[in-house]
Chain A
């Protein structure tokens, strides 16, 4: 039981640190609230959808930005998608970079876009790591027979 408690505390600490560092916002908490016995893997499912979506979009943007005549409209559409996804999942850092990214797209600033792309990739991988850690913790708690603590 101690182990479970410890893990639960660790889980709470970890997720509050994610919030504190500004990587996630309350939207993520909302998602966690949506998860119940009817849809036990809701957060993980959404997160993996998000990761897939993200990787696809980042690849799209990278490809578009490499080309000679950059189609900023296409990039902008991708960024918009990414912004929507990230705000839905509560990935606030990714979302903020997206906002800057869009303004560079509007200004048709290739340099800025490339910089933002780098940032987005960075934030994304960071988020992915953190979330995967979080999910692993979750799995461990569940495996140990504990319940996931609700974070208010």
Chain B
């Protein structure tokens, strides 16, 4: 119970661990942050919006900078040109001033008069396109006014064309260009602007400008340029006073700035785009406009200032340029940014979609995984349930069966006995089924473990055969086994499971076969020969085909003469294989040495029947559990169809594989190939005692003739006889046997003088009519000279009449019923030859407590159980069978009692005990024994014929007989187990193993 609990606990733990692993493994980054996904998307969109805005701004700024650069370069260009043109005009005026001083003052009389001046200036006007006109005003002091007025014949007038009032100085215009002739005789000093200009000019000696004002005549804004004209040469560095003193007059010109700038701008490209203003900024707080509109429109945000230098250091001018229109919105920047944004938006959406998809897929995956885990858990739970239920059913079933057995021991009327027996058979069938289900569940749950112990394959096959001998005999089937000589005597593997496989297959075959044979063959599958070779050889052995026709139909060269599904297994190939092996064995001893050197041996086991076969449609689901060929199968033949699936599982567990060939109405051949370990010689000798078949050796060297028309069958018989160490000849029919015998006896004495002649019933019957009397004579003849050979009839089933006939015909000695088994043949031969003095304890004695009594009588047995009641009951039961019982109430007490040497013959051990349980106690006992054994072997090596080793049979007593418990029992050194409370049969079976052989060997 505890064991089971532990297992289920471990199981649920593994499931849970799996689950955890699953969830842990499944979480990816995306999965972990799934709640954040929409936020990630939003963030992404925002970042991208910001980025596109930034891009737009960048591009726009670029544009603005470029615009500004364009503006400044245009503005600078305009300013420079204006300045240049202005400079040129100023230079010309300067030149005029020098002209006047040269020709008016230095020449005497003056070389210039108004006409000359007017003409000259008119003709050189192209040089001064910016000046509307030039005029020369002479400096007239008050004292000189009258002389001057007289000389020129006009009075000096003010700007307002009135006679000038009296001043210190006057500057009346005496020469003027025709364009400005209206200012002749006007006193320039009377104008505020001009006066200031004049004063500044003569002080500095340079050209000076007025602030802008509306010009007389054109009402354009303009400035007046004034140059001083000196009458004498000035000293190199004249002072201001010297300049003033030397001043003779002033040359002036009016710059029409407005038209000047207008012209200038007209010549330049991009005129329309920009707006130009020119200011006089001498007075920094009040900028006077020289050109352009005071009310400013256009792009107010962006302007460029350029300095203008018109040569007058006193005055400062600047030009301000603006664009006419606001900067146009930059469409490229806008579209670029927008497209960028859209693309990013799409990319973001795609990523988001992908992430959502991943999350969904992962969710699905997890769901699937969970479902899978649940499904697996359900599967495991199913297996566990099956195991548990099977176990729970077994316990009461054991009770039922035990009680039925007890019931059968009592006095029953025949009807009651029949009922009880039926119930017992049914119960046993049910237990078998439950065991199968349990096996299946165990295999599925992976709890089935295979043993690796040495075992004798041949004896196991014989056992299986004996199991089915009753059934096959009833059905009239030939049941035979043949193991190739090359198969080693002992192999390493799981005998229980091997037996189970064979039992399943043979059981199946027996169930589905109504006529013909079932043939189990074991070969070494090392070098399978091609079949063609075998076919070729058939002709050589063709002589044996005699009698191939029997009344009714074709005879096949199989065991029983019926057709088998797998033709490879017919006599042709079989014989070939057989011959080949014989050859190899004879020819090369090396070969076997080499074989034995290898660690493992691969065996090919086939089970051939001539049953109903498997329908083609059902062939593919033969190994599926609970599947039979069709529903009618279970109706006709019973069974659940679980056997083959278990068989397949077991074969695969052993590392082999199973296959089959089947033809409906012909038969099926199941074939499995699996590998067993080879037994090492050393370990073999150890275990031989317990496991090897005990075939008597008293028949060694005896000669036998097998008379059989069917070669396969003959070979099988020969195989069994050979195992007994006999020399075997095969004869096809009685005549050949007789003649061979006779010939040999006459020619060369007792070379092949047979001790035994085994005649197959078929051969005898077919040869009987013509030659029975004759042959008897023959034998008799031989009998005069030699020992009469024993005549043995081999039969599958035989009627009483036939038996009588056979006895009459000379087979008085005995009849061996098939299936043949070596041990059985040995027993029969013992009986016939008289060598076997003591009969073995057969199965027939297995009823009643007398057997048990005889087994246990006088044995000293120790019962270990902590429960006093159980102890008493067990002791009572054993005492009843004549055993001397001693009791121990704990494992420790038992150890004390069993301290070597002791006189106990066996020990029954409870498993569940406080302090030291049965397993532990057994382990210790075994330890004690092995120590003592070692000492004995070491000290008295050849300790003659005393008890060779200490090994006390220990049997577990347990209330629940599960496989696991029994496995554990064997593992810790126990020899078996009995269920508690004691049942006679169970007890007998357990005890028989140890006490059966002993009385014989001891006596």
Whether A and B are associated in the same complex: the answer reads: yes
Instruction: Give CA–CA (A46, B866) in the complex, Å.
Output: 15
A88 to B875, CA, bound (A): 12
Q: Evaluate whether A89 and B873 lie within 8 angstroms (CB atoms) in the complex, with A30-B981, A84-B959 already known.
A: yes
Closest Cβ of chain A to B162, distance in Å, is 139
B867: contacting residue among A31, A39, A53, CB under 8 A: A53
A135 at the interface (CB under 8 A from B): no
- In the assembled complex, which residues on chain A have CB atoms less than 8 Å from the CB atom of B868? 49, 52-53, 85
Chain B residue with Cβ nearest A45: B872
Q: CB within 8 A of A26: which of B403, B869, B873, B877?
A: B403
B839-890 contacts to A, CB under 8 A, are 865-870, 872-873, 876-877, 879-880
Whether the pair B876, A46 counts as a contact (CB closer than 8 A) is: yes
Q: Say whether B879 contacts A88, CB under 8 Å.
A: no
B329 within 8 A of A: no
- Docked Cα-Cα span, A50 to B867, in Å, equals 9
**Is B867 within 8 A of A81, CB to CB?**
yes
CB <8 Å contact, B869 and A89: yes
Given A49-B868, A88-B981, the answer on whether A31 and B876 have CB atoms closer than 8 Å is yes
Complex Cα–Cα for A152 and B407 (A) = 8
- Asked if B867 contacts A88 (CB within 8 A), the reply is yes
* A87 beta carbon closer than 8 Å to chain B: yes
1/0 per position for A29-41, CB-CB distance to B under 8 A? 0110010101100
Query: In the bound complex, what is the Cα–Cα distance between A36 and B849 (angstroms)?
Result: 14
CB-CB under 8 A from B406, the residues of chain A are 26, 30
Q: Does B544 contact A (CB under 8 A)?
A: no
In the assembled complex, the Cα of A8 lies from the Cα of B636 at a distance in Å of 52
Closest to B5 in A: A106
Residues of A within 8 A of B981 (CB): 27, 30, 87-88, 90
- A36 touching B867, Cβ below 8 Å: no
What residue of chain A has the Cβ atom nearest to residue B403's Cβ? Answer: A26
Residues of B near A42 (CB, < 8 A) are 876
Other-chain residue from B869, B879, B912, B914 in contact with A46 (beta carbon distance below 8 A): B869
Q: How far is the CA of A88 from the CA of B959 in the complex (A)?
A: 10
How far apart sit A77 and B912, CA to CA, in the bound complex (Å)? Answer: 10
Hey, which chain B residues are within 8 Å of A45, CB to CB?
872
Whether B872 pairs with A49 at a CB distance below 8 angstroms is yes
Q: Any chain B CB within 8 A of the CB of A130?
A: no
Range for the number of chain A residues in contact with chain B: 20 to 34
Q: A30 vs B584: C-alpha distance in the bound complex, in angstroms?
A: 61
**Please, which residues of chain B bring their CB within 8 A of the CB of A36?**
880
Instruction: Return chain B residues, CB-CB under 8 Å to A26.
Output: 403, 406
Query: Could you say which residues of chain B place their CB within 8 Å of the CB of A19?
Result: none
- B866 and A81 form a contact (CB under 8 A): yes
The answer to the question of A128 belonging to the interface, with a C-beta cut-off of 8 Å to chain B, is no
Which residues on the B side are within 8 Å of A90 (C-beta)?
A: 981
A44 CB, nearest partner CB in chain B, Å: 11
Considering the complex, give the chain B residue whose CB is closest to the CB of A150: B410
> Chain B, interface size: which category?
20 to 34
Q: Are A88 and B980 in contact (CB under 8 A)?
A: yes
Which residue on A lies nearest to B876, using beta carbons?
A34
Task: With both chains docked as a complex, state the minimum distance between the C-beta of B393 and any C-beta of chain A, in angstroms.
Answer: 16
Contact indicator B869/A38 (Cβ below 8 Å): no
Contact check, B870 vs A152: say whether CB atoms are below 8 A apart.
Answer: no
Residues of A within 8 A of B873 (CB): 31, 34, 46, 88-89
B877 touching A49 by the CB < 8 A rule? no
Q: Bound complex: CA of A6 vs CA of B879, how far in Å?
A: 33
Report B911 CB to chain A, min CB distance, Å: 11
User: In whole angstroms, what is the CA distance A37 to B872 when docked?
Assistant: 17
Most buried by B among A30, A38, A85: A30
Known contacts A26-B403, A27-B981, A85 near B870 by CB under 8 Å: yes
What mask results when residues 60 to 89 of chain A are scored 1 for a CB within 8 Å of chain B, else 0? 000000000000000001001100110111
Decide: A39 near B876, CB < 8 A? Known: A26-B403, A87-B981, A152-B410: yes
Known: A27-B981, A89-B873. A80 touches B912 (CB 8 A): yes
Chain A, residue nearest B849 (CB): A33
Q: Which residues in window 345-375 of B have CB below 8 A to A? A: none
User: CB-CB < 8 A to B867: which residues of A?
Assistant: 53, 81, 84-85, 88
Measured in the bound complex, the distance between the Cα atoms of B410 and A87 in whole Å is 23
Looking at the assembled complex, report how far the CB atom of B897 sits from the nearest CB atom of chain A, in whole angstroms.
21
Q: How many whole Å from B870's CB to the nearest CB in chain A?
A: 5
CA A152 – CA B903 in complex, angstroms? 38
- Say how far A25's CB is from chain B's closest CB, in angstroms: 9
Query: With a CB–CB cut-off of 8 A, which chain B residues contact A85?
Result: 867-870
> How far does the alpha carbon of A87 sit from the alpha carbon of B959 in the complex, in Å?
9
Q: How far is the CA of A26 from the CA of B403 in the complex (A)?
A: 8
B960 to chain A, nearest CB (A): 11
Output the residue of B411, B872, B912, B982 with the most chain A CB within 10 A.
B872
| A residues in contact with B865, CB < 8 Å | 84
Q: Is the pair A38, B872 in contact by a Cβ cutoff of 8 Å?
A: no
Which residues of B in the span 415-458 have a Cβ within 8 Å of any Cβ on A?
none
Q: Is the CB of A88 within 8 A of B870?
A: yes
Interface contact A88-B403, CB-CB below 8 Å: no
Distance in angstroms from A50 CB to nearest chain B CB is 5
Contact partners of A53 in chain B: CB under 8 A: 867-869
User: Chain A residues near B403 (CB, 8 Å)?
Assistant: 26
**Shortest Cβ distance from B402 into A: residue:** A26
- The one of B869, B877, B880 that contacts A84, using a Cβ cutoff of 8 Å: B869
List of B residues within 8 angstroms of A50 by Cβ: 869
Complex-state Cα separation, A30 to B405, whole angstroms? 13
Contact with A along B808-845 (1 / 0, CB 8 A): 00000000000000000000000000000000000000
Residues of B within 8 A of A31 (CB): 873, 876
Contacts A36-B880, A39-B879, A77-B914 given; indicate if A88 touches B869 (C-beta within 8 A): yes
Give min CB distance, B424 to chain A, whole Å: 15
| Chain B residues within an 8 Å CB radius of A38 | 879
A46–B406 alpha-carbon span in the complex (Å): 21
Least Cβ–Cβ distance between A9 and chain B, in angstroms: 20
Residues of A within 8 A of B982 (CB): 30
The docked-state distance in angstroms from the alpha carbon of A29 to that of B638 is 37
- Pair A46/B872 contact, Cβ less than 8 Å: yes
Residue numbers in B under 8 Å from A89 (CB-CB)? 869, 873
> Please, how many angstroms separate the alpha-carbon atoms of A84 and B914 in the complex?
13
* Chain A, residue nearest B878 (CB): A34
Q: List 24 A-B contacts (CB under 8 A).
A: A27-B981, A30-B981, A31-B873, A31-B876, A34-B877, A34-B879, A39-B876, A39-B879, A46-B869, A46-B872, A46-B876, A53-B868, A84-B865, A84-B867, A84-B869, A84-B870, A84-B980, A85-B868, A85-B869, A88-B980, A89-B869, A89-B873, A90-B981, A152-B410
List residues of chain B with CB under 8 Å of any chain A CB.
Answer: 403, 406, 410-411, 865-870, 872-873, 876-877, 879-880, 912, 914, 959, 980-982
Complex A-B, nearest 10 residue pairs according to Cβ-Cβ distance, in ascending order: A85-B869, A84-B867, A88-B873, A88-B870, A34-B876, A50-B869, A88-B869, A46-B872, A34-B880, A27-B981
- Contacts A39-B879, A46-B869 aside, 14 further interface pairs with beta carbons under 8 A come to A26-B406, A31-B873, A34-B876, A45-B872, A49-B869, A49-B872, A50-B869, A53-B868, A53-B869, A84-B865, A84-B959, A85-B868, A88-B870, A152-B411
